[in-house]
């Protein structure tokens, strides 16, 4: 072990700078320092990693495998430093070389291998699995290009390719010896009882490993990402004929499979490459899992007792048929037994009920790419129908393969991500399957890792908490409730308030420097940061902002509570309505921020290129958390938890985990508005509901009117007619119907914020009562109710 003879971090940095990167301190650029520090930290992580791996082998413990098309991990250096408790040492070591700690951290690219909530949840889970000491692997794809970079030109979103591997990356270990052939297409042959698949095309999946270290470095698991390569990377014959493009073609073709993350997180576009990616990830992961199982245990009938495979949404749902194919076709286990082994090994998390996001594949495409799997799916479907004669819904309907149904049938547990979402699963998409298998659906409400989302991102608040109740909260977040008595102490509450104010000053300074956007840190920092979607209703927020602006203009000398409306988030490149909302917010910001009559009371900013790093800046500085989705549509939300934990009360609907947040922090510390999920369903039946809501609320009518007449787009008055037309027409997401109550809640926020001490109390109760939203709690729930896995640290 390094422990006893561990060189100081300073020596270790210098050693790596010299011998790993061939630089002396005089000539090193920032990136060299970042890499040298990363390697110095990584060395210590590797020690924990080996120890964990050996312990897992020695104990023969059950292993958990988390299969996900997305891991939105962000930067890793600070995470490693914080978890190893090296912050002070790293700062002083760099200071000795006259390097600033924050500059070095900021040099690391943000790994955006995910779209939003689903990918970030996977990253929080990996960190919690390591903190808990549950033997686990994450399996994903090593996309060359993560989620696109967003900028604004004339207020409009412009997408550029993301290049996280453009700089050196410190955290991965290439494993050239770990490669599997993944086939596509071809045909199937029958030899008596046995069936063989003969793929027409093959690519190789190569492993790249990133260690994921838990709190205090007690344990580290592996994130294994697959990269596409050609089996015969270079066509020498073509090259010798002078056809250089053809010579390089096999490699280029194979690499496209892991080239880019699909940037659309709701609409399934039925793209062949996406299905290939899904099978590429799943096929490689299963081969790897079975190789490891075989080396250690052998008897495949014992698979469910030693292996738990979690499907992060339906994206890796092909795991069911693929596992059966291996067990049955390749290892000769009878079909029904193969199916039972697979089901007892697999479980599935559903992350959305939006019909447009439920994956299904055209059978022609599916059958062409995976001819054996589509046969197996039919056999699964028949077997399921035979075992459940009352069943009416097949997983093969309308010439489509329904991945949700397949996942449900092939999983021993299916979980929702909040209490409300789980109940809705039972009464909507999975109603019939739930009635057939009433014990299968379970709830595991999402959580967030407190190491990244409090300790690392909010050092001032973390410091105050640790000084008050000790360090116990870091891996036992419900200990935060011990803060409650302190809230009654006026001196302590002042300090809590000052932490928030300092965080706001820091954010204001950064916005000034980075974006030339200057704000008064005494305004309410009202923040909505998330992907753009109609159901998330950023347009409800901007409508209320516009109405509020008009009201201030009517009476500019009244005692308005100054407010900064902060937005950030990306729209899928093909989601034109969402892109219009971004443009409207930017256009409205330009007009409203320039209004001398109102701009000390109201400002708007849409910060570009929202990512994990930007969230880490914004969350600690927020006063108010906007969680305003149409009830029934947001499966859980996890940003909502980060804000509550960091002392930003929510203005929100009874949707997703908002419901549970409100239950925990107390109704008096939460600004509730809007219809319930049930009321939403009823309201949709009411004829002209939007028109009626507009007629009943002159503020709403006026806000829509100024948008329609082109106040924010004078050169092109009709620019937002698509938005106003939608809201005045079908208004499926009930923006108009919820407007008046949202307005009311926002005015309550204004009044409450005037009492700064009262506000600090509310914020502090949010912190003290958010401990339940740790992803450690969530993971322990999965271990107990779904995986039957044990911690090797307890
Ligand atoms: C769907 C698709 C389909 C097209 C290709 C790319 C792609 C990528 C992702 C998705 C599924 C999106 C579902 C999702 O992200 N759900 C979010 O999951 C969070 C974690 O459970 C939860 O907090 C959010 O409420 C939920 O919207």
In the numeric block, which tokens belong to residue 636? 């859980």
Pick the closest to residue 601 from 753, 376, 405, 791 (CA basis): 753
637 close to ligand 1 (CB < 6 Angstrom): yes
Cα–ligand 1 centroid distance for 223 (angstroms): 20
121 close to ligand 1 (CB < 6 Angstrom): yes
Cα–ligand 1 centroid distance for 351 (angstroms): 6
Of ligand 1's listed atoms, the one at least distance from the Cα of 349 is: 21
Neighbours of 488 (CB within 10 A): 10
278 close to ligand 1 (CB < 6 Angstrom): no
634 close to ligand 1 (CB < 6 Angstrom): yes
Q: Rounded to an integer, what distance in angstroms lies between the CA atom of residue 159 and that of residue 578?
A: 14
Q: Rounded to an integer, what distance in angstroms lies between the CA atom of residue 255 and that of residue 524?
A: 48
The pLDDT, as a whole number, for residue 6 is 62
Q: Rounded to an integer, what distance in angstroms lies between the CA atom of residue 567 and that of residue 173?
A: 37
The pLDDT, as a whole number, for residue 1 is 43
Element (H, E) at 227: strand 220-229
Instruction: Please list the alpha-helical segments (H only) found in 178-261.
Output: 236-240, 244-256
Task: Write out residues in the chain with pLDDT < 50, as ranges.
Answer: 1-4
Q: Rounded to an integer, what distance in angstroms lies between the CA atom of residue 84 and that of residue 217?
A: 5
Q: What DSSP letter does each residue of 260-317 carry, written as one string?
A: B----SS-----HHHHHHHHHHHHHHHHHHHHHHHHHT--GGGHHHHEEEEEESSTTT
Cα–ligand 1 centroid distance for 243 (angstroms): 43
- Closest Cα to atom 10, ligand 1: which residue? 265
**Which residues are part of the catalytic machinery?**
351, 530-531, 536, 638, 642
- Closest Cα to atom 6, ligand 1: which residue? 265
The pLDDT, as a whole number, for residue 5 is 52
How confident is the model over 528-570, as pLDDT tens digits?
999 999 999 999 999 999 999 999 999 999 999 999 999 999 9
The pLDDT, as a whole number, for residue 4 is 47
Q: Rounded to an integer, what distance in angstroms lies between the CA atom of residue 580 and that of residue 555?
A: 30
Which of 350, 357, 444, 639 should be mutated for ligand 1, with most atoms under 8 A from CB? 357
Calculate the alpha carbon distances from 196 to 188, 325, 355, 372 in Å.
6, 9, 35, 8
Cα–ligand 1 centroid distance for 354 (angstroms): 10
Neighbours of 490 (CB within 10 A): 10
Q: Rounded to an integer, what distance in angstroms lies between the CA atom of residue 345 and that of residue 320?
A: 9
Cα–ligand 1 centroid distance for 391 (angstroms): 28
CATH 3.40.30.10 describes domain 520-767: no
Domain ranges for the chain: 1-59+75-109, 60-74+116-446+779-787, 520-767
Tell the burial category of 469 from Cβ atoms under 10 Å away from its Cβ (0-12, 13-18, 19+).
middle
- If phi > 0 it is left, if psi is from -120 to 50 it is alpha, else beta; for residue 313 that is left
655 close to ligand 1 (CB < 6 Angstrom): no
The pLDDT, as a whole number, for residue 540 is 98
Instruction: Please list the alpha-helical segments (H only) found in 488-575.
Output: 490-515, 538-554
- Closest Cα to atom 4, ligand 1: which residue? 268
Calculate the alpha carbon distances from 648 to 73, 317, 474, 525, 605 in Å.
23, 37, 19, 9, 18
Cα–ligand 1 centroid distance for 115 (angstroms): 8
With H, G, I as helix, E, B as strand and everything else as coil, classify residue 641: helix
Of ligand 1's listed atoms, the one at least distance from the Cα of 634 is: 25
Neighbours of 762 (CB within 10 A): 23
28 close to ligand 1 (CB < 6 Angstrom): no
The pLDDT, as a whole number, for residue 217 is 98
In the numeric block, which tokens belong to residue 746? 């926002």
The CATH T-level fold of domain 60-74+116-446+779-787 is: Rossmann fold (3.40.50)
- Cβ proximity of 611 and 112 under 8 Å: yes
Torsion, CA 427, CA 635, CA 313, CA 339, rounded to 10: -30
- Cβ proximity of 690 and 740 under 8 Å: no
Q: What DSSP letter does each residue of 725-769 carry, written as one string?
A: HHHHTT-TT-HHHHHHHHHHHHHHHHHHHHSHHHHHHHHHHHHHT
The DSSP bridge partners found for residue 202 are 183
Same fold, 60-74+116-446+779-787 and 520-767: yes
Alpha carbon 782 to chain centroid, angstroms: 18
351 close to ligand 1 (CB < 6 Angstrom): yes
Q: Rounded to an integer, what distance in angstroms lies between the CA atom of residue 559 and that of residue 561?
A: 7
In the numeric block, which tokens belong to residue 555? 């009476």
Instruction: Please list the alpha-helical segments (H only) found in 330-418.
Output: 335-345, 363-369, 371-387, 403-409
Q: Is the pTM of this model over 0.85?
A: yes
Cα–ligand 1 centroid distance for 350 (angstroms): 9
Q: Please name the residues in contact with 472: beta carbons below 8 A apart, sequence gap of 6 or more.
A: 479
Of ligand 1's listed atoms, the one at least distance from the Cα of 117 is: 19
Of ligand 1's listed atoms, the one at least distance from the Cα of 69 is: 8
Pick the closest to residue 113 from 611, 669, 476 (CA basis): 611
Helix %, strand %, coil % for the chain, to 5? 55, 15, 30
């Amino acid at each position: 072990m390094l422990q006893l003879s561990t060189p100081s971090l300073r020596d270790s940095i210098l050693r790596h700078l010299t011998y790993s990167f061939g630089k002396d301190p005089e000539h090193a650029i920032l990136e060299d320092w970042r890499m040298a520090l990363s390697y110095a930290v990584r060395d210590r992580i590797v020690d924990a990693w080996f120890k964990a791996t050996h312990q897992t082998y020695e104990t023969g413990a059950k292993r958990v495998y988390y299969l996900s098309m997305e891991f939105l991990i962000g930067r890793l250096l600070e995470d490693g430093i914080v978890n190893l408790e090296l912050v002070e040492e790293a700062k002083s070591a760099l200071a000795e070389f006259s390097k600033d700690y924050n500059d070095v951290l900021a040099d690391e690219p943000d790994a955006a291998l995910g779209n939003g909530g689903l990918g970030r949840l996977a990253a929080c889970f990996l960190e919690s699995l390591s903190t808990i000491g549950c033997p686990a692997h994450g399996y994903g794809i090593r996309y060359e290009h993560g989620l696109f970079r967003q900028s604004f030109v004339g207020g409009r979103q412009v997408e550029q390719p993301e290049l996280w591997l453009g700089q050196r990356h410190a955290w991965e270990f290439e494993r050239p010896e770990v490669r599997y052939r993944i086939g596509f297409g071809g045909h199937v042959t029958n030899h008596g009882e046995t069936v063989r698949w003969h793929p027409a095309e093959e690519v190789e999946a190569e492993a790249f490993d990133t260690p994921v270290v838990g709190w205090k470095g007690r344990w580290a698991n592996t994130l294994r990402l697959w990269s596409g390569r050609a089996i015969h990377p270079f066509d020498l014959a073509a090259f010798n004929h002078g056809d250089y493009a053809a010579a390089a073609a096999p490699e280029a073709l194979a690499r496209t499979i892991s080239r880019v993350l699909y940037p659309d997180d709701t609409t399934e576009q039925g793209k062949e490459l996406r299905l290939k990616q899904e099978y590429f990830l799943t096929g490689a992961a299963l081969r790897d899992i079975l190789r490891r199982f075989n080396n250690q245990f052998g008897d495949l009938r014992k698979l469910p007792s030693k292996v738990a495979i979690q499907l992060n949404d339906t994206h890796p749902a092909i795991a069911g048929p693929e596992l059966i194919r291996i067990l049955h076709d390749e290892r000769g286990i009878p079909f029904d037994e193969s199916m039972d082994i697979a089901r007892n090994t697999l479980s599935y998390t559903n992350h959305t009920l939006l019909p447009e996001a439920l994956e299904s594949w055209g059978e022609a495409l599916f059958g062409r790419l995976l001819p054996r799997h589509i046969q197996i799916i039919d056999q699964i479907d028949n077997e399921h129908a035979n075992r459940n004669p009352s069943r009416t819904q097949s997983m093969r309907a309308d010439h489509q393969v329904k991945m949700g149904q397949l996942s449900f049938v092939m999983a021993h547990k299916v979980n929702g991500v909040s209490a409300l979402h789980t109940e809705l699963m039972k009464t909507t998409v999975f109603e019939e399957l739930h009635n057939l298998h009433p014990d299968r659906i379970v709830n595991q409400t999402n959580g967030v890792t407190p190491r990244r989302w409090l300790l690392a991102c909010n050092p001032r608040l973390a410091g105050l908490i640790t000084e008050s109740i000790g360090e116990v909260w870091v891996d036992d977040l419900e200990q935060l409730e011990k803060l409650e008595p302190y809230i009654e102490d006026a001196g302590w509450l002042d300090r809590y308030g000052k932490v928030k104010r300092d965080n706001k000053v820091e954010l204001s300074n950064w916005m000034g420097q980075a974006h030339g956007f200057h704000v008064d840190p005494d305004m309410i920092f009202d923040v909505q940061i998330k992907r753009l979607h109609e159901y998330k209703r950023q347009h409800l927020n901007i409508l209320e902002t516009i109405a509020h602006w008009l009201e201030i203009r009517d009476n500019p000398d009244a005692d308005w509570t100054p407010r900064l409306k902060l937005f950030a988030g990306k729209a899928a490149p093909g989601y034109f309505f969402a892109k219009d909302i971004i443009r409207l917010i930017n256009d409205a910001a330009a007009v409203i921020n320039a209004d001398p009559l109102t701009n000390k009371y109201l400002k708007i900013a849409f910060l570009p290129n929202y990512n994990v790093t930007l969230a880490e800046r914004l969350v600690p500085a927020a006063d108010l958390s906007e969680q305003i989705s149409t009830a029934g549509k947001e499966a859980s939300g996890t940003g909502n938890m980060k804000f509550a934990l960091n002392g930003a009360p929510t203005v929100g609907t009874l949707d997703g985990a908002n419901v549970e947040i409100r239950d925990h922090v107390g109704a008096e510390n939460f600004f509730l508005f809007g219809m319930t999920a049930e009321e939403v369903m009823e309201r949709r039946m009411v004829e002209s509901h939007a028109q009626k809501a507009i007629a009943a609320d002159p503020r709403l009518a006026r806000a829509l009117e100024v948008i329609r007449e082109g106040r924010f787009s004078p050169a092109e008055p009709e620019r937002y007619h698509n938005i106003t037309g939608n809201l005045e027409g079908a208004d499926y997401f009930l923006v108009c119907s919820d407007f008046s109550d949202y307005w009311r809640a926002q005015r309550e926020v204004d009044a409450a914020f005037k009492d700064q001490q009262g506000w600090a109390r509310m914020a502090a109760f949010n912190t003290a009562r958010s401990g339940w939203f740790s992803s450690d709690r969530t993971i322990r729930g999965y271990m107990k109710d779904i995986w039957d896995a044990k911690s090797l640290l307890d």
